[in-house]
Amino acid sequence: MIVCLGPMGAGKTLLLKSLRNSESIDNTTTAVPTVGTNIIDIKIGDKIYTVRELGGTMAPMWNLYLNENVRKVIFVVDVSDLCQISAACVLLYTVMVNPCLRNAQFLIALTKMDVSYRQMRNEALLMLQMKRLQKEVRQSITITESSAITGEGRSEILKWISKE
């Protein structure tokens, strides 16, 4: 099972919609904040991958959905909002120390790259303390820059999802 997590307003829903069908997304596309969960099927080649998105408002209850069946975690961070990056850091660390996820692979999707400046990526990685985190946890961590609107990072995320 694949789960998609991140703070409120990080862009999880729009990112997943763009992964499912990039042609349905343009500059006018918006998403309603997820209250609860969404199940999204993404077809890659001839295989379908099911992703469960857990809304940011549900962060206190995420642990109820995290179990040994979760093999991959997509963690979404809005790099255009420095305040949110701090909140994302706390949530990410909380999720990564969950014993059920000790063998899970993590993808950190730095979203909204189309509305932020390039230096924001470096600031986000510093604030998330990625170098330190990668040394201290056993999980595999992949980082990608993405934008649901422009499609940036789409192919990398799809490749990560389909990689066994």
pLDDT digits (tens, 9 = 90+) for 83-135: 788 888 889 989 998 999 999 999 999 888 776 666 667 777 777 777 777 77
Burial of 131 (0-12, 13-18, 19+ CB in 10 A): exposed
φ and ψ at residue 141, rounded to 5 degrees:
-120, 125
CA distances from 45 to 110, 123, 156, 161 (A): 25, 35, 14, 12
Average pLDDT score, the chain? 85
| Owner of token pair 């201290």 | 136
The domain that holds 92 is classified in CATH as 3.40.50.300
The pLDDT of residue 70 is: 95
Spatial distance between the Cα atoms of 62 and 7, rounded to a whole number of angstroms: 11
Nearest to 110 by CA among 87, 72, 80, 134: 80
> Band of the pLDDT at 24, cuts 50, 70, 90?
low
Tally of helices (H runs) and strands (E runs) in the chain: 5, 6
Residue-number span of the structural domain to which 72 is assigned: 2-162
The kind and range of the H/E element at 51 are strand 47-54
**Token pair for 128:** 């998330």
Spatial distance between the Cα atoms of 6 and 108, rounded to a whole number of angstroms: 9
Spatial distance between the Cα atoms of 97 and 162, rounded to a whole number of angstroms: 25
Q: How many domains does the chain have?
A: 1
| Owner of token pair 């040994």 | 68
Measured from the Cβ of residue 103, the count of other Cβ atoms closer than 10 Å reads 11
The pLDDT of residue 140 is: 87
> Band of the pLDDT at 60, cuts 50, 70, 90?
very high
